[in-house]
Amino acid sequence: MSDWITFALPKGRIMQDSMELFGRIGITCPEMNEKGTRKLVFENPQQKFRFMAVRATDVPTYVEYGCADLGVVGKDTLLEQGKDLYEPLDLKFGYCRMVVAEPKALRGEDDPSSWSHIRVATKYPNITERYFAAKGIQVELIKLYGSIELAPLVGLAERIVDLVSTGGTLKANNMVEVETIAEITTRLIVNRASLKTKHRRISRIIADLEAVIADEVRISQ
Ligand SMILES: Nc1ncnc2c1ncn2[C@@H]1O[C@H](COP(=O)(O)OP(=O)(O)OP(=O)(O)O)[C@@H](O)[C@H]1O
Ligand SMILES: O=P(O)(O)OC[C@H]1O[C@H](OP(=O)(O)OP(=O)(O)O)[C@H](O)[C@@H]1O
């Protein structure tokens, strides 16, 4: 059986922080530093680590099917997809919030406690549906794949559910937060079979990451 460890990493904003964190526990991949490469799989043969660059929303799928032993992914994606994965660690980066937002102009006279039926545009239909169902609010969902803040500007939906970090996108589009649904950070996920078959290497990685993250939290306090 292969004793290589394969990681599924999201191509986007999480990639650099992930590799910096792995670098701190001695896991590196010089091949990934090649400028302008279109490669999707990178290897460190000395350390027997393989890294796959995939869409953020696809990370759980590669790990669930065992194509990757480990993955790095936002809690938003895990909450949305609800897959059966082991999630041993909060990596404590990629901080953002999932919020309900609406145009500033609507906010003035709007009272969220009086909502009974609303239309919401979002990349996260499952989270949105669960959130409003728990409040007894009927929601008409419009699934989008990006530029969510555009929806209220053009009358597609009055409200959105989306991620906010700096708040710059909401502000630039004259929108305000109404409610916070969840605090989001990046998580380490593990394929359940790999956890058994490659237990020694994987538990070492988890323990080393845990120690480095605990140190960082201590220093920042
Ligand atoms: N301001 C932010 N906006 C969106 N995601 C953020 C933000 N800050 C941190 N994140 C985290 O980064 C993760 C990856 O975001 P990224 O934009 O790279 O991928 P994506 O475009 O959402 O996914 P995909 O490429 O699959 O469509 C998110 O799932 C979230 O956990
Ligand atoms: O609070 P801020 O720091 O402005 O970040 C929030 C914005 O960033 C994300 O969009 P992203 O850049 O991923 O674009 P997309 O949703 O259009 O793909 C998110 O969907 C918000 O639009």
Token pair belonging to 58: 């696809």
Q: Does the Cβ of 77 fall within 6 Å of ligand 1?
A: yes
> Is the Cβ–Cβ distance between 166 and 86 less than 8 Å?
no
Centre a 10 Å sphere on the Cβ of residue 83 and count the other Cβ atoms it contains. 13
ipTM attached to this prediction: 0.95
Under 8 Å CB-to-CB from 52, ≥6 apart: which residues?
A: 6, 7, 8, 9, 40, 41, 62, 67, 68
Question: How distant is the alpha carbon of residue 58 from its chain centre?
Answer: 11
Q: Which of 14, 122, 147, 163 gets mutated to test ligand 2 (max ligand atoms within 8 A of its CB)?
A: 163
pLDDT in tens, 190-208: 999 999 999 999 999 999 9
Would you state the pLDDT for residue 217?
86
Would you state the pLDDT for residue 181?
98
pLDDT in tens, 61-82: 999 999 999 999 999 999 999 9
> Is the Cβ–Cβ distance between 190 and 58 less than 8 Å?
no
Question: How distant is the alpha carbon of residue 196 from its chain centre?
Answer: 25
Would you state the pLDDT for residue 213?
96
Token pair belonging to 62: 């590669």
Q: Tell me the pTM.
A: 0.96
Specify burial of residue 28 (Cβ count, 10 A radius: 0-12, 13-18, 19+): middle
Q: Does the Cβ of 80 fall within 6 Å of ligand 1?
A: no
Under 8 Å CB-to-CB from 126, ≥6 apart: which residues?
A: 79, 80, 81, 82
Would you state the pLDDT for residue 36?
87
What domains are there in the chain, each with its CATH number?
A: 5-94+185-220 (3.40.190.10), 96-184 (3.40.190.10)
The amino acid occupying position 96 is C
Give the pLDDT mean for 134-141. Answer: 96
Edge to edge, the sheet with strand 96-103 lists 138-143, 117-122, 159-164, 96-103, 175-184
pLDDT score of 86 more than 70: yes
Q: What is the CA radius of gyration of the chain?
A: 20
Q: What is the band of 152 on the pLDDT scale with cuts at 50, 70, 90?
A: very high
For ligand 1, atom 5: residue with the closest CA: 163
The amino acid occupying position 91 is L
CA of 96 to the centre of ligand 1 (A): 9
Give the pLDDT mean for 146-150. Answer: 97
For ligand 1, atom 31: residue with the closest CA: 74
